[in-house]
Every structure is written in structure tokens, then in C-alpha cells.
Amino acid sequence: MTAELIRGQNHPLPHTRLEIRVSAGHPVVAGATLGDDRGRVQGPEWIAHPGSPALPGIEVSQQAAADHRLALDLGALPAAVHRVTVLLALPVGAGGPARFGSVAAPFVAVTGLDGDEVATFTITGLDAESAVTALELYRRQGAWKVRAVGQGYAGGLTAMLGDQGVERPGEIATAILDAVARGMARAVSAPPPRVPDADRVRHSAPLTGSDHPDTAPTLPVPLPADATAADSGGGINYAHPRRRSAAPPPPPSAPEAAPPGRPATPVAGDATGWSMDERLYNQVWGMFEDLARTTAAYRSAVDFAESRMDQELDRVLSDPRSRVGATGDAAREAARAKCEELTTRAREALDRDLAQLDAESEVVEPALPTPFARWDNPVWHAYRVPMEIPMALRLGDLHLPERPELRIPMLVRLPLERGLWVDSGRGHSEAAALLDEGRLRRLAMDTAVAHAARLLAVYPAGEFTVHVIDPAGSAAASLAPLVETGVLAGPPAAGAAGVAAVLARLTERVDLVQMAIRAGAADSLPPGLDPAEQLLIVNDFPHGFDDRCVNQLRYLADEGPAVGVHLMMVADREDASAYGPVLDPLWRSLLRITPVADDHLADPWVGHAWTYEPALPPQGSAVIRQVLGQVAEARQAWGR
């Protein structure tokens, strides 16, 4: 049965040899880009377009036309490719339309070689856009899926290619449109069915493995990557000197692929990466992306069903002949039944995807390394001070109301690129409203200490230093694990003098390191300067802060992360309201987290309000003290 997709919805692909048929009612340019495990297009050789119509595993048309057939052999794609994005664009000149809003909505169908439709998508809602991302075919746990995207770009091909990470997108967009204008025309006809060992798609030079991902997208919130990377067997393309000749190690062997239409058996580490930690990191954010998109598809389907029912009821009520009587009742009942049917089908699709994510979470969570693991994970009982800095750290869990029990770890890259703000105010959180002010502030400081302990635990001995400002000494109980184990750089600073002294030292450190970097003389730093990453925990702001200290704090938040000085504020923004908008840049520069459940984080795709819950140890657990005790012993041994 054909799946009629709506924007954001995905569907499994039963075959790897496919056709994508486009019907636009007006000549359009059709092409495709190949994406790596992060969805990025590595260069012009990863783009199939009229001027370069054939790539390994894909052929597109060489001309603008109202109807297109794109040939795909997903099994023939290089191993470094994990996504195929189908794009449409309006050709420039020739007196044609300049925006999709003035032509018929494009229709896209994914079919097998026998012509049977697997999935269809009508791209509606376009207006000023002259280019649109129609579909995305992506690999997930060894199986391929198709997702309806329908993302339009008023900036045309240039904006679309730039959004996919292409360097010099304007030049490539111009080359594509010039090729169309020159009439390099040879339409690709539908390839006939072939025996399994025939080669339907012509192959050019094989693509090499993707670059090592030095950075990964972060959330408020971080992002995805999934599937298996392996060396494609080709030589190094020396036009890309950063490209490595060896691909990442393959993920653990997975069970044989499930039959078409059935979900694959989840495997921990089933994602790309140069280490198991990186594979698990990418897998976690692949799960995050899948949950975001499948929930968006469900919500969109429900909205569509309800909107359709409202329209049908409006038509019934607007006609006096059908407003009352049996005819009106039957029409109303039919509209409600159709709405219920559509909603039920959407919920079934959602439940199917959520069940797969539940199964994946059950195997991934126990396999997470110490920096990614919850405090109740047994991996902490075998904790040893690491020899190197991990790639990321868990700050808490994220979930959506459709399946609150499905928790996605919230991982942030290290070293921290932004400071943290543990909000001790009530905000708009229902959970915070149930707590009295004193309890909420204590819980906020406990959360800060748990995060600081985790940071100390994942850094090698002597490579992370923590300072605390507690002007009134109100956080003594929460700070006890840090103070009593001796892992702090010094006693918590109290009073206005203590606040000023700590801020002056850290501000001076930022200035010295910045000057050394600019002068290219890192070896000229004073011998007494602590080279470790620095974390400043600030409690009860703005108590004990004068105007000079406030300016220094803002300076540390802005300039500190680049030179290894990080800020963790534990504060209620209302307490500093007297400063007015002066402090707005400070709050915006920090990643806001909360001591209780709160839905204040949004994903970068569809803008869901994700509920965040902090990573706290179980009630009564001594795991933080045990871990900090080992950190203190390692620091003493390192300092000898």
C-alpha cells in the first residue's frame, strides 16, 4: 500500500533500487546531494545535477522539465554516504516563474523498478521559494528510510546548498543553472529491471571516507548521525587535503538485516565514529532526531485531521439544506469518523516508531561510557580517573509528552562552548511552583554540584579546577561534597572581598592567555599560572557583587570559554532585575538548565518544547562523594 506522506513523516524503504518521479506542472531542475553521517555535503563531487548527472548510485536528468525520473541504487552508494537529498529548483530566465507559489504544488513519488509506488508527497505551502528540498533518503541501523521534507528556500539553490554545508554555494548554484541554460540535455529514461549482478548506474571515481568530525552539532541541544561508515576503497582525493585515507573503525557486528518492512534489531554503537564513545554519541543524537521528527509528523497529521473535519463541518453548517435533519447528522458523523480514522492511523505510525526507539534506548543506555551515563548506571561503581578528556558530557535527559518515559540523554561537547545557568527561579515550571523558595534554591545548588562533580570526574587529574563564590555562605550544605573531599581550588569565596578577589584572578588569567595567544607566545605565560580548565560556580548572584564585579562576570561569560575559563551561575534572574536590560546579554550567553523538570529547550528542526530533567544521583546515594574521593587522590598523586 502506498504511504501518502506529510511534511516530516518518514517511511521504510523495502528496496534499494528505486525511482523518484517528480511532477511539477512546469519545468523545474531536479537534482540530489549526497550527505555524510552529519548530513553535510563534502563538495561539488557529492552533487548530482544537470551538469554532472551521474554519481555512484544515482542518475538525474540533464535538463529542466515538468516531469523527471531519478534513478537510485542505494546499495551502490559509497559507504561514506548516509543521506540522499532530492532537490527541486526553478530555472532562471526564459520568462518562467520565479517562485513556487505561482505554480502547481510539486508531486514526488518513490517507486520500485516495477513502477509500484512506495511513498508519495505533495509539497504544499510554498510561496516565495525558488528552491525546495523535497525528500531525504537516509540510512538508519543498516536500513533505508524516506522522509518528506518540503523545506523551501527563498534564496534559491545558493541558500539550499549553503544550508547543507557546501563551500562556495553561490558558485555551484550558478554552475548548475548555467548548465541548464546551455541546454545540456539528455533525459534519463527509466532503467529496465535487471538481474541482481547487473550494474544499472554508471560509476565515476569512488568517494573516499568523510572527514573526521572535529565538531558535532549541539542542542540548545545537540544533533545526529547514524549508520555505518567504512572505507569506500578509493584513493584519496587530493583536492580535499583534510580528508583521511582511512575510515573510522566499523561499528560492532549487527544481526542480519531484518526483512523489508520490519525494524532492524537495535545495536549499541550502531553509528559512525572513530571510537565507541563517538559512535554512541552520534547514535544518541540520531535517536533525538528520530524522536523529534516522528513526533512532528504525528502532530502534523493530527492537526490536518482536525482541520479537515472543521472544514467539512463548516460546509455542512453553511448549507441550510444540510444543517439539520438526517442529512446533517450523517455528514457530521462522517466528518468525525474520518478525523478519528486519520488520527488513529497517525497514532499507529507514532507507536511503531516509538517502540523502535524504546528498544534502541534499552540497549544504548546500559552501554554508555561514564561521561554519558546516569549517576545510577553501574559504570560509576567501576570509575577510574581518565587519562584523556572525553568528547561530551551528559547534562540531563530530554523527553516529549507523547512518550515521557522515553528519555534521550542530553549530551554537550567538551570543552564547554557556553557557560551554564542553573535557574533557581520558578519561571513557568509547574514542578518548581510546587516547591518553596528555600527548597528550590537548595535543589539548584545540588544540581550545580552534581554537574561540577561530573566535570571533575571526566577530566584527567590536574586538568580541571573548580572555584566557588558563595557570598553569604548559604550553599554550605550543597557544597559539602566538593569541600570535604578537597577538590576545590580553595575555600568558597565569601563576602564582597572574596567575590572581588576570585573574579580579579580569573579575569587576569583570561587577559594573559588571550595576549599570549595573539602574540603567538604561549610559552611566555607566568610560571604560576594554572594551565587547567577553570570552572567558576557563582551562587546567590547578585549578592556581594558591585558594578565592577558584574562587569567582570560578564567579561568571563563572553571571553572565558575560548581560553578555558567557564562559568556556572546558580541564580534567579528576578533577583538581578534591578540591573534591567544590562544583564540580558549575560543570561543569553549561558545555557539555561533547571533543577526540576521544565520544558524550556527547543530542537533545531521543528521547535518542539522538550522537557529537560537534570542529571542527579539517586536519593541517598554516595556515588558523588566516592567519585570525588578518587579525583582528590589522583590530584594528590599528580601534584607530587
Q: What is the mean pLDDT of residues 36-43?
A: 85
Q: Nearest-CA neighbor of 491 among 568, 482, 627?
A: 482
Question: What pLDDT does 3 receive?
Answer: 84
Q: 519-554 pLDDT, tens per residue?
A: 887 677 787 788 899 999 999 999 999 999 999 999
DSSP string, 573-636: GGGGGGGGGGGHHHHHHEEEE-SS-EEEEE-TTT--EEEEEE--PPTT--HHHHHHHHHHHHHH
Count of CB atoms situated within 10 Å of the CB of 249: 14
Whole-angstrom Cα Rg for the chain: 28
Q: What is the mean pLDDT of the chain?
A: 83
Q: Say yes or no to pLDDT of 261 above 60.
A: no
**pLDDT value at residue 553:** 95
Percent of the chain topping pLDDT 90:
48
CATH 2.60.60.30 boundaries in the chain: 3-181
In whole angstroms, how far apart are CA 215 and each of 240, 242, 281, 393? 18, 14, 12, 14
Is the preceding peptide bond at 542 cis, omega within 30 degrees of 0? Answer: yes
Parts of the chain belonging to CATH 3.40.50: 417-639
pLDDT at 259: 55
CATH number, domain 417-639: 3.40.50
Out of 102-111, 202-211, 277-286, pick the least confident: 202-211
Architecture of the domain delimited by 3-181: Sandwich (2.60)
What's phi and psi for 87, nearest 5 deg? -120, 150
DSSP state of 398: E
Instruction: Give pLDDT tens digits for 58-105.
Output: 988 888 888 888 999 998 899 889 999 999 999 876 566 788 888 888
pLDDT-based confidence at residue 201 (cuts at 50, 70, 90): very low
Beta-sheet pairing, 609-614 with 17-35: unpaired
Q: What's the whole-number mean pLDDT along residues 432-456?
A: 94
Is 236's pLDDT higher than 80? no
| Among candidate residues 336, 329, 42, 17, the one with its CA nearest the CA of residue 167 | 42
Task: Please tell me the predicted confidence (pLDDT) of residue 407.
Answer: 96
pLDDT of 415 above 70 = yes
Helix axes 623-639, 476-485, angle to 10 degrees: 40
Cα–Cα distance for residue pair 237/244, rounded to 1 Å: 9
If residue 338 lies in a helix (H) or strand (E), which one and from where to where? Answer: helix 325-364
In tens, the pLDDT along 317-360 reads 777 766 677 877 888 888 899 999 999 999 999 999 999 999 99
Q: Over the stretch 138-169, which tens digit does the pLDDT of each residue have? A: 988 888 999 999 999 988 999 999 888 888 88
pLDDT tens digits for range 360-373: 999 999 999 999 99
Which pLDDT band, with edges at 50, 70 and 90, does 617 fall under? very high
Contact of 503 with 538, CB cutoff 8 Å: no
Position 95 scores a pLDDT of 60
In this structure, are residues 245 and 208 in contact, taking their beta carbons and an 8 Å threshold? yes
CB 508 within 8 A of CB 521: no
Cβ burial of 524 (10 Å; 0-12, 13-18, 19+) is exposed
Residue 523 DSSP one-character state: G
Residues 6+ apart with CB under 8 A from 511: none
Phi-psi region of 73 (alpha: psi -120 to 50; beta: other; left: phi over 0): beta
Phi-psi region of 607 (alpha: psi -120 to 50; beta: other; left: phi over 0): left
Q: How many C-alpha atoms does 436 have within 13 Å on its Cβ side? A: 2
Nearest one of 401, 374, 443 to 623, comparing CA atoms: 374
State residue 209's pLDDT score.
29
Q: Decide: helix, strand or coil at residue 546.
A: coil
pLDDT value of residue 109: 93
pTM of the model: 0.64
